[in-house]
Amino acid sequence: MKIGINASFLRKQNTGIGQVTTNFLKKLVEFEILNFKFENNKGVEFILYLEEDVDLELPEGFSKKVFLPAWKRDDLIRKIWWEKFSLPKMAKADGCNVFLSLYQCPTVMPKTVFHLMVAHDIIPKLFPQYVNNFRKKLYQQLSENGLQRADKIMAVSHRTEKDLVQHLGIDPKKISVSHIDVDEIYKKEVSEEESQRVLQKYGLEKGYVYNGGGLEIRKNTASVLLAYKMLLDGHELGNKMPKLVVSGKLMPHLVPLACDVEQLVADLGLGEQVVILDYVPQEDLPALYRNAVLFVYPSLYEGFGLPVLEAMNQGTPVITSKTSSLPEVGVDSVLYCDPLNVDDLVMVMRNLLANEHLKAALSLKGKERAQHFSWEKFVTKTINIIKEETKS
């Protein structure tokens, strides 16, 4: 039994899909998955397909294959060429019986290869403003075709499952759901020494309101800034109003697809109260969450919502949207707001900032809820689907 895996995003480990790819493979190796026997006591060999080589120690039964198409520039042309044409050809030549795509993409495998595709979201379908040129439109159309032609789909949330059925007309019988998890770094206790290192690095004092996870428009950072400004102007919390820290790669050249947070802060006169951090490396994020008085994330749409779960793991009280997949993640361990209603966000932020008992309760409940998610569950379900579908 040969199982091919699209591990391309190992080269982009700071992205959401990069984290999923990295942690899935770590757990797969940890499991010594070769001990799982398939039908007729068959062992299994895993082949990881990559666009760029990565430093990765692999045990016996795992190998990697690095290749590129003739077009080597790292853009959508190469991505389409590699995923749609080169990858299926290579997997077939290597004799793969099963192929696992760890994200939705244009890959369509030959009928002799069972293809399981992980679906994270269909954001370009729901927010067409993101698909603002021909190449992006083509990639989106090809990815939808890839989802429709996959033998089985693993959705990372029930919201994504519903969206696949409702918007792409995919048969619900071929969709399974399994929640993903966060990187192991967020599960570790942050030491006082590490807290001080990160606070000093960014010139912060403990007890700020934190908003992170990206500055693209659907993340709704603009509403956070507007709500914060209203709270300041209302003087309801007096001297207790903490600073607001916003992190995310600044991309003013991508406006209106991304929030020009620097310009908005200037327009609102918040230069003294808001700290803009730009891109923050993952190793600093646990301490950044841990030292916040609350994490506010009123995203308009998420296929899962990793930042919310990251904050919960660190015991940081969370305010997020009562839309898309976010209530699946937070359940009753976070506070919810209407992301389209700034007044509602103001009210929820005010209530949480003024209530120490509520903050303590959410901190505890968030950490407890976070224990329900694990890479072990995700990998186990993936392997069980493959075993079930390849019995014959």
Q: What is the DSSP string of 200-250?
A: HHHT--SSEEEE-S--BGGG-HHHHHHHHHHHHHHTSSGGG---EEE-S--
Q: What is the pLDDT of residue 92?
A: 96
For the sheet with 208-211, list strands across it. 274-276, 244-246, 208-211, 292-297, 318-321, 335-337
Among 352, 300, 350, 305, residue whose Cα is nearest residue 330: 305
When pLDDT is cut at 50, 70 and 90, the band that residue 392 belongs to is: low
When pLDDT is cut at 50, 70 and 90, the band that residue 44 belongs to is: confident
Superfamily of domain 184-370: Glycogen Phosphorylase B; (3.40.50.2000)
Distance CA 58, CA 36 (A): 17
pLDDT of residue 253 exceeding 90, the answer is no
pLDDT of residue 41 exceeding 60, the answer is no
Distance CA 384, CA 124 (A): 30
Distance CA 318, CA 352 (A): 9
pLDDT > 70: percent of the chain? 97
In this structure, of 36-40, 294-298, 388-392, the range with the lowest mean pLDDT score is 36-40
Q: What is the pLDDT of residue 37?
A: 56
Among 148, 134, 139, 89, residue whose Cα is nearest residue 113: 89
pLDDT > 90: percent of the chain? 84
Outline which parts of the chain fall under CATH 3.40.50.2000. Answer: 2-181+374-389, 184-370
Tens-place pLDDT, residues 122-153: 999 999 988 989 999 999 999 999 999 999 99
Q: What is the pLDDT of residue 232?
A: 93
When pLDDT is cut at 50, 70 and 90, the band that residue 33 belongs to is: low
Q: What is the pLDDT of residue 56?
A: 84
Q: What is the pLDDT of residue 240?
A: 79
- The DSSP output letter for 253 is G
Top-tier CATH class for 2-181+374-389 = alpha beta
Distance CA 210, CA 207 (A): 9
Q: What is the mean pLDDT of the chain?
A: 93
At 347, list the tokens.
Answer: 């009210």
Residues 190, 287: contact at Cβ < 8 Å?
A: yes
pLDDT of residue 237 exceeding 90, the answer is no
Distance CA 11, CA 17 (A): 10
The count of other CB atoms within 10 Å of the CB of residue 384 is: 13
Tens-place pLDDT, residues 313-345: 999 999 999 999 999 999 999 999 999 999 999
Q: What is the pLDDT of residue 35?
A: 56
